[in-house]
Amino acid sequence: MNRVEPGLIRVESDELTYDFHIMLRVEIEAALIDGSLKVSELPEAWNAKVKEYLGLEVPNDRLGVLQDVHWSSGQVGTFCNYTIGNVMAGQLFASATEDSRVRDGLATADYLPLREWMTEHVHRHGRRYTRDEILEKATGRALDPTFYIQHLTQKYSDIYEI
């Protein structure tokens, strides 16, 4: 996805606004957990955050606070993992592309070297290590948003010539 256009639905959002969808959910979850937000106040809080972060008006709860199944199925506190995954992906990709085989493969649409790098550095460990331990072993550093931010900045600066 290259076009940036804020939308109401998280799973239909573009790469640049996706994490704003996550941020509003994480903030709402935190407020619910700490008691500063009541369940009855969810729609109003949701709509305010969508307006603040995405500049959109929410026409109804179906397109707003009720669009995800997470909360109704007891998955509270899990939305942050989507953004953590994006940050990890940026960091892993930066490390993988330090390998000339991976870079050369990507230049010719040969994804086998990248898959082999991921198998060697990530997948083969399964659940032997925590997420943070695997990331540090694979990249040599703790979780660092720098690479994800660089990816977004470079990609969208090039596309929009900014």
The percentage of the chain sitting over the pLDDT mark of 90, rounded to a whole number, equals: 86
Position 93 in a domain = yes
Return phi, psi of residue 28, to 5°: -65, -45
Q: Check pLDDT > 90 for residue 3.
A: no
Do both 87 and 151 map to the same domain?
yes
Q: Which residues contact 3 (CB under 8 A, 6 or more apart)?
A: 14
Do both 112 and 146 map to the same domain?
yes
Do both 114 and 133 map to the same domain?
yes
pLDDT tens digits, 126-156 = 999 999 999 999 999 999 999 999 999 999 9
Looking at 63, 78, 93, which one is the last position of a domain? 78
Contact by Cβ (8 Å): 125, 134 = yes
Q: What is the mean pLDDT of residues 72-96?
A: 95
Position 86 in a domain = yes
pLDDT tens digits, 101-121 = 999 999 999 999 999 999 999
Q: Which residues contact 159 (CB under 8 A, 6 or more apart)?
A: 2
Q: Check pLDDT > 80 for residue 2.
A: no
Return phi, psi of residue 112, to 5°: -60, -45
Q: Check pLDDT > 80 for residue 97.
A: yes
Whole-number pLDDT of residue 1: 55
- Domain hosting 141: range is 81-160
Looking at 78, 99, 123, which one is the last position of a domain? 78
Whole-angstrom Cα distance, residue 134 to residue 32?
Answer: 32
- Looking at the structure of the chain, the number of domains it has is 2
Question: Which parts of the chain fold into alpha helices (H)?
Answer: 15-34, 42-54, 80-96, 100-107, 112-121, 131-139, 146-160
Whole-number pLDDT of residue 93: 98
Do both 19 and 43 map to the same domain?
yes
pLDDT tens digits, 8-18 = 999 999 999 99
